Structure 1
Amino acid sequence: MSTPDEILRGLDAEQRQAATALHGPVCILAGAGTGKTRAITHRIAYGVASGVFDPHRTLALTFTARAAAEMRTRLRDLGVDGVQARTFHSAALRQLQYFWPQAVGGPMPSLIENKVRLLTEVAQRMRMTVDRAGLRDLAGEIEWAKVSLHAPEGYAEAAAEREMPVGWTATTVARLYAGYEEAKTARNMIDFEDVLLILVGVLTSEPRIAATVRDQYRVFVVDEYQDVSPLQHRLLDLWLGDRADLCVVGDSSQTIYSFTGATSRFLTGFRERHPEATVVKLIRDYRSSPQIVEAANRLLADRTQAGLRDRTLPHWPEPLQLTSQRPAGPAVVFGECQDDEAEAGWVAQRIGELVAEGVEPAEIAVLFRTNGQSEAFETALSAAGIGYQLRGGERFFSRREVRDGILQLRAAARAAQDLTGEEVVQRARDVLSSLGYAAEPPSASGAARERWESLHALVNLADQLAGAREDFTLTDLVAELDERAQAQHAPTVQGVTLASLHSAKGLEWDAVFLVGLSEGLMPISFADTPAEVDEERRLLYVGITRARQHLHLTWTLARAGGGRAHRRPSRFLRAIDPTLGGTREHAPTTTPAARRPRRGATVATCRSCGKALETGAERKVGRCVDCPAQYDEAVLDSLKDWRSATAKAEKVPAFVIFTDATLEVIAETMPATPVELIRVKGVGKTKLDRYGPEVLELLHGTATA
């Protein structure tokens, strides 16, 4: 294990202060991108190395299995073993399973993985009509009630001010909630909220068990403390007892799950409950460029000013003022588009340009307020030949092809224990080829492309691990996949990420497109109260701070082509750039839109017929879609063969090298020098340096043949 001095090496002044504050209570206020996970894992490692913490008596709590797995990995890298890093539910379930025979006796009830099926039966029995989407909303409402410590009989009063699922009243939800609880009891079943509730009851009523737990765990670290619910906090208090060995980490500006019962009041009121607490602020942003950090700071500063102007707004703590530690990057891009289809087309075009400049597709994300907005972007990216993955859909390890692939790899591992290194990667390719994997992605989009992307992610993971670990075997690959499946830690899929703003929490990309930023979508139309609008502002803040280098903010004037342009840009955009104004007339009309050239810009025309080019696809190849191509088919075939070989050697999809449209333009224009080649759309400086000599040599050979 590293020495204490080695563990502290490389931390900035505030991170070092957090890492060396070993005696609680400690509150770390950590802004987005400030290295909070680094700070708390080094704090644990420093405490263990200094002899202050016993790793086997330390419990680190997170909110996702993925975050817990990441924390365990970092602690292992620091030479620390034995620390428990778990979610609240995982830690509680483990304790409940252990103490159930003593506290209750008999077999423990079975756990409900999904409430919808049982709720369906209860609703039918109570003659309540509800569709599946409504049942999901009702399941969420019951979860809110339970984590907020509201029983069925007190629900209607507690939820009087809440937005009810469509067609339901608080009274009818309370009836369904009561019926659901009765059905669970009759079937000897419990849900995830019950795990916490029952453990709270056990620790409250059984002093001997509570003493055992408190003796086992002496030090507690809670990440994302702004997202704890009243139920989770009650359990945390019982775990602690009368001790103060607690370190919490959070940022009230990133509280975006209030609708699930999460509340930042425990974070903002930490100093009041613990006057002696050490408070450390992490404000050095290592993730985002100064331009992006400035946009995020302005958004939050505007809320602070609004609070000073309007005394009726709820109390909101002073936000952390972040300072970027990265070099200057490109300016934040604002994009006004005519309609949703035009917006999707423009975004796909800009993504294609970024990929051409060398940005990996997996390092690009399109984030939206509601999942229903994704379809237009799926269509536009497919039309542009750009792969994508939809986050928040079916979990990676639940996909049929992934489960089948792991089964096939497990079977192959038994017969190939002597293979190591690159041989493992090749065997993985061979095994997965039986499920449809190939070196080149399919030209089709949709399910076929998603299936290929999933299998390609498995091959990529094998390649990464084989390069990082000596004597890596197929058995090691299967073990890694099993561990990742348990933690839902999916490997990187080579495609642009499409995700809702909520599901993007905790992630980051080189380039982020925040789309649909019109009034009614951001803030969402049903955000009626000041507190709800505040939550929407924080949600946009989270989206902005996901970006490292490139940030695009887009909105539309109408929903559909030809529709009335009645939409206005989000009020939040005016905080970031006041020149946007508050109405459509004041919005910038010179920003690129998919169906309208910029004011004063040169209109692109077809090389064949001279007509104006209307679509992004036409402008990319420089001719109308109906005009015949003017390239030699043999030259294009040679370019595609070269691209396939290069993609295989670099283990990336072919479109990452050059898209079909770029190769067509190269074949058509036949550039003979680097200056001529870089004029081709899709060939940036990075790709010119990497592939230019080979392309020019190939073209020279075909021209002289």
Structure 2
Amino acid sequence: MPNQPSPLNPFGAVAPSPDAVLAALDPEQREVAAHPLGPMCVLAGAGTGKTRAITHRIAYGVHSGAYQPQRVLAVTFTARAAGEMRTRLRDLGAVGVQARTFHAAALRQLHYFWPQAIGGAAPEVMAQKAAAVAQAAASLRLDLARDRTAIRDLAAEVEWAKVSMLTPETYAAGARAARREPPGLDATAMARVLEAYEQVKTQRGVIDFEDVLLLTVGILAERDDIARAVRSQYRHFVVDEYQDVNALQQRLLELWVGERDDLCVVGDPAQTIYSFTGASPRHLLEFPKARPTAKVVRLVRNYRSTPQIVGLANLIVRGPSGAMRSNAVQLQAQASDGPTPSLTSHPDDPAEAAAIAGEIADRVAKGVSPGQMAILFRTNGQSEAFESALAERDVPYLVRGGERFFARKEVRDAILLLRGAARSDDGSIALPELVRDVLLGAGWTREAPNAGGAARERWESLAALAALSDDLVAAGPEARLPDFIRELDERAAAQHAPAVQGVTLASLHAAKGLEWDVVFLAGVSDGYLPIAMADTPEAIEEERRLAYVGVTRARKELRLSWSGARTPGARASRRPSRFLDGAASILGDGARSQPKNASGGRRSGGKAGKPVLPAHCRSCGTELLTAAQRKTGRCEDCPPTYDEATFERLREWRLAVSRASSVPAYVVFTDATLTAIAEREPSSEGQLAQISGVGARKLGLYGEQVLAVLGGATAAEVLESASAATDSDA
């Protein structure tokens, strides 16, 4: 990338000229920045400098006179990203531009216009919805109060319904259209939960975060005078991470923009990884069609990663066909060469964690900063093994997604002391030294403690505050302690935490938008990546994009690993992720999920020496790739071959059993197993036992009942018969 200009002084620096703003950009970035007016769609690959391009676009618009800074609204998805954008705009002299998340911008407008539109003060926003969801479930006699996982799943489904703009009346149809199964309930029961949840909120006099958007949309749609006021305030819009927009956010954006066309959207279809929350890349991909005059720019030069890492990322996103996905960006590496990415296998999960922690400890001993390394994994449940392994070696670490930085007690106490010291700052002591003197009174030491764990984590938090004072003075040499307090207040409001030194542990979802010199991508095996629950072609493709996100977090070195078993001594039943199949040229033959056999063909698991032949759809003959497809015997594109009345009786029976047993419906039988039963219609327990998902325990519990349902009995009849038999046995 062209040389970076020195940071602009936010405490009175002379604004740069428009030409100086453009001079710091590559040709594609300059194409984005030099056209500040009119619609624009930027397809930006990982590490291609999209934030740089759009902040320079805004700065160019301000310094060229195309924008009034107060008339610009830049929207993104996380408080951290919004805070980073504000910092960059400030350094570029574009002071006054609003950079906020969708929710923050909407909440600001809601509070301002509520007295005019509704009257009185706006309702309080709930910090979390779990308690309200639990109360709603209890009111429907769903015994979930102690099942935190079930409550969390229900809360996520409530969020999906609301961002999809579904009501209790339209939920069932919307869920079916989206091919979405509510967690442990049928669609009708979930609709009742939604209705009860809304009643609980009304009783409490509160709203949730989705309501912030919904209510703002409602006010803007119904009150033309308020909509005109908002559009008068904001004339130019920039939306980052546009591939993650959901239906509700898109509707709000349309109401903000109105009939105007000064809208720039930026995103990467290959990094669409939040569809489970309602996000859709459709808005990004169809933007040029919706706005035919839009200028489309592709950012393809990757400045983050070595050519070796970029090459692997391109192979992963292509998939088995070898062809680049439609609208995906073929990255072009600009950085210097580095080591070839490696793939290592381990016998079990603890061995994998120990090996990675040992390698990190060796690097730290050689002077590598822990803050420049990360361990990434698919699920949060994988974190514990790495936390233990690092703690054993006294390596500092932080868990991404844990307690927020500004909520930590040591940080709150330190800021309180700094706030008191600010009143007596006479300028006689340099800011960084003064901050460190105050931090000493908060329990910080100039040398890091030898101990790991919580003590080291507290020290790293305070050290991050000290480092932040260095950054502030570098940007503005005249900065004093009151300026530092203002910076901390702004960052706390935006949850824009400073960098904390320690190895980062993060799920792939939490790692998006971040980067490190060295990345250990762990658990790269089928079942984790893709996750076992991904049983549709669309879900598998999203898992592939998740792998791509993980790979592109690494700047200099990428170490992939997987293990054959969960626990020591267990049978090695795992295989490398199928997403690595096309990368054997880089990672070696060990990356193949289906190794070549002696005759040059393929084998796909099974017992040693006994290859398993691929399964094919009974209707069209297509090879079945997922466990759910193999279970039902057909692919997603072919219609079901079961009798619908039989399938509905099975669903009604499952729901009745789940309610009687106070367990989620999927605990009785998963949808895939239920579909397989309906497809095959077994007539004996022996035939039923041959269906995947019907083990000996479930056969004993439900075998007779399932056969009775297949024979035409209703759920009520079956349960009544089972109850009578139990009473008779007693």
1:44 is aligned to 58
CA contact (8 A) 2:44 2:299 kept: yes
**Residue 342 (structure 2) pairs with residue 333 (structure 1):** yes
CA contact (8 A) 1:196 1:231 kept: yes
Specify which of 237, 259, 271 is matched with residue 254 of structure 2. Answer: 237
Specify which of 259, 262, 270 is matched with residue 253 of structure 1. Answer: 270
**Residue 481 (structure 2) pairs with residue 474 (structure 1):** yes
CA contact (8 A) 2:449 2:456 kept: yes
Q: Distance in 2 between matches of 1:585 and 1:87?
A: 46
Give, as a single letter, the amino acid of the residue that structure 2 aligns with 1:259: F
**Residue 563 (structure 2) pairs with residue 556 (structure 1):** yes
1:456 is aligned to 463
Q: Distance in 2 between matches of 1:45 and 1:228?
A: 24
Q: Please state whether the residue corresponding to 2:59 is helix, strand or coil.
A: helix
Question: 5 Å matches for 1:203-214?
Answer: 203-214=220-231
1:192 is aligned to 209
What is the TM-score of this pair, normalised by structure 1?
Answer: 0.78
Shift of 1:257: 0.6
2:72 is aligned to 58
Specify which of 357, 361, 364 is matched with residue 348 of structure 1. Answer: 357
Q: Please state whether the residue corresponding to 2:558 is helix, strand or coil.
A: strand
CA contact (8 A) 1:417 1:474 kept: no
- Deviating more after overlay: 413-422 vs 512-521: 413-422
Give, as a single letter, the amino acid of the residue that structure 1 aligns with 2:402: G
Shift of 1:440: 4.1
* CA spacing shift, 1:560–1:541, aligned 2, 3 Å: same
Shift of 1:93: 1.3
* CA spacing shift, 1:53–1:418, aligned 2, 3 Å: closer
**Residue 394 (structure 2) pairs with residue 376 (structure 1):** no
Give, as a single letter, the amino acid of the residue that structure 1 aligns with 2:352: E
1:74 is aligned to 88
Q: Distance in 1 between matches of 2:93 and 2:469?
A: 24
Q: Distance in 2 between matches of 1:531 and 1:53?
A: 41
Shift of 1:473: 3.5
Question: 5 Å matches for 1:383-422?
Answer: 383-418=392-427, 420-421=429-430, 422=432
- Post-superposition Cα deviations, 1:214-256, rounded to whole Å, max 9, x if no partner, equal 2221111111110101111111111111111111101110011
- Post-superposition Cα deviations, 1:591-616, rounded to whole Å, max 9, x if no partner, equal xxxxxxxxxxxxxxxxxxxxxxxxxx
Q: Please state whether the residue corresponding to 1:518 is helix, strand or coil.
A: coil
Q: Please state whether the residue corresponding to 1:276 is helix, strand or coil.
A: coil
Specify which of 126, 138, 149 is matched with residue 154 of structure 2. Answer: 138
Shift of 1:51: 1.6
Q: Please state whether the residue corresponding to 2:514 is helix, strand or coil.
A: coil
2:46 is aligned to 32
Specify which of 157, 161, 171 is matched with residue 155 of structure 1. Answer: 171
- Deviating more after overlay: 455-464 vs 95-104: 455-464
**Residue 368 (structure 2) pairs with residue 359 (structure 1):** yes
1:13 is aligned to 27
- Deviating more after overlay: 112-121 vs 221-230: 112-121
Specify which of 562, 575, 583 is matched with residue 576 of structure 1. Answer: 583
CA contact (8 A) 1:391 1:497 kept: yes
Shift of 1:443: 4.1
Q: Please state whether the residue corresponding to 1:153 is helix, strand or coil.
A: coil
Q: Distance in 2 between matches of 1:471 and 1:106?
A: 44
Specify which of 166, 188, 198 is matched with residue 171 of structure 1. Answer: 188
1:91 is aligned to 105
Unaligned runs of 5+ in 2: 1-14, 598-730
- Deviating more after overlay: 541-550 vs 204-213: 204-213
Q: Please state whether the residue corresponding to 1:386 is helix, strand or coil.
A: coil
Q: Distance in 1 between matches of 2:169 and 2:346?
A: 50
Q: Distance in 1 between matches of 2:479 and 2:505?
A: 33
Give, as a single letter, the amino acid of the residue that structure 1 aligns with 2:539: E
Aligned length: 576
Question: 5 Å matches for 1:611-630?
Answer: none
Specify which of 90, 112, 117 is matched with residue 131 of structure 2. Answer: 117
Shift of 1:371: 0.6
Give, as a single letter, the amino acid of the residue that structure 2 aligns with 1:533: I
CA contact (8 A) 1:508 1:548 kept: yes
- Deviating more after overlay: 46-55 vs 546-555: 46-55
Q: Distance in 2 between matches of 1:82 and 1:397?
A: 25
Q: Please state whether the residue corresponding to 1:288 is helix, strand or coil.
A: coil
* CA spacing shift, 1:347–1:101, aligned 2, 3 Å: same
Q: Distance in 2 between matches of 1:163 and 1:58?
A: 38
**Residue 491 (structure 2) pairs with residue 484 (structure 1):** yes
Shift of 1:120: 2.3
Give, as a single letter, the amino acid of the residue that structure 1 aligns with 2:590: L
1:593 is aligned to none
CA contact (8 A) 2:577 2:593 kept: no
Q: Please state whether the residue corresponding to 1:215 is helix, strand or coil.
A: helix
Q: Distance in 1 between matches of 2:460 and 2:260?
A: 50
- Post-superposition Cα deviations, 1:254-298, rounded to whole Å, max 9, x if no partner, equal 011101111000111111112221100000001010000000001
Supply the RMSD in Å over aligned alpha carbons. 2.0
Give, as a single letter, the amino acid of the residue that structure 2 aligns with 1:424: L
Q: Please state whether the residue corresponding to 2:173 is helix, strand or coil.
A: helix
Specify which of 106, 128, 139 is matched with residue 120 of structure 2. Answer: 106
Question: Percentage identity across aligned positions?
Answer: 56
Specify which of 401, 424, 436 is matched with residue 426 of structure 1. Answer: 436
Shift of 1:322: 0.5
1:524 is aligned to 531
CA contact (8 A) 1:544 1:551 kept: yes
Question: 5 Å matches for 1:218-297?
Answer: 218-297=235-314
Q: Distance in 2 between matches of 1:271 and 1:394?
A: 41
* CA spacing shift, 1:224–1:138, aligned 2, 3 Å: same
- Deviating more after overlay: 484-493 vs 464-473: 464-473
- Post-superposition Cα deviations, 1:32-51, rounded to whole Å, max 9, x if no partner, equal 11111111111111112222
CA contact (8 A) 1:515 1:553 kept: yes
Q: Distance in 2 between matches of 1:238 and 1:464?
A: 39
* CA spacing shift, 1:17–1:460, aligned 2, 3 Å: closer
1:611 is aligned to none
Give, as a single letter, the amino acid of the residue that structure 1 aligns with 2:205: N
Q: Distance in 1 between matches of 2:492 and 2:553?
A: 25
CA contact (8 A) 1:36 1:249 kept: yes
* CA spacing shift, 1:272–1:345, aligned 2, 3 Å: same
Shift of 1:133: 2.5
What is the TM-score of this pair, normalised by structure 2?
Answer: 0.76
Give, as a single letter, the amino acid of the residue that structure 1 aligns with 2:335: R
Shift of 1:417: 4.7
Q: Distance in 1 between matches of 2:16 and 2:474?
A: 25
CA contact (8 A) 1:419 1:473 kept: no
Q: Please state whether the residue corresponding to 1:221 is helix, strand or coil.
A: strand
* CA spacing shift, 1:464–1:274, aligned 2, 3 Å: closer
* CA spacing shift, 1:48–1:472, aligned 2, 3 Å: closer
Shift of 1:213: 1.5
Q: Please state whether the residue corresponding to 2:422 is helix, strand or coil.
A: helix
